[in-house]
Chain A
Amino acid sequence: GAVVSQHPSWVICKSGTSVKIECRSLDFQATTMFWYRQFPKQSLMLMATSNEGSKATYEQGVEKDKFLINHASLTLSTLTVTSAHPEDSSFYICSARDQSQTQYFGPGTRLLVL
Chain B
Amino acid sequence: AQSVTQPDIHITVSEGASLELRCNYSYGATPYLFWYVQSPGQGLQLLLKYFSGDTLVQGIKGFEAEFKRSQSSFNLRKPSVHWSDAAEYFCAVARGGADGLTFGKGTHLIIQP
Contact = CB atoms under 8 A, between A and B. Distances in A.
B43 A107 contact: yes
Contacts of A103: 34, 46, 101
B32 A105 contact: no
Contacts of A97: 97-98
A105 B36 contact: yes
B42 A49 contact: no
Interface in A8-59: 32, 34, 36, 42-46, 49, 59
Nearest to B41: A107
Interface string A75-114: 0000000000000000001010100011111111000000
B43 A106 contact: yes
Contacts of B99: 49
Given A49-B100, A97-B97, A103-B101, A43 B43 contact: no
Of A34, A36, A43, A108, most B-chain CB atoms within 10 Å: A43
Q: Is the interface of A mostly helix, strand, loop or mixed?
A: strand
A45 B3 CA distance: 12
Interface of B: 32, 34, 36, 42-46, 49, 51, 90, 96-106
5 contacts: A36-B100, A44-B90, A59-B100, A103-B46, A108-B43
Given A101-B51, A102-B34, A105-B43, 4 more contacts: A43-B104, A44-B44, A46-B101, A49-B100
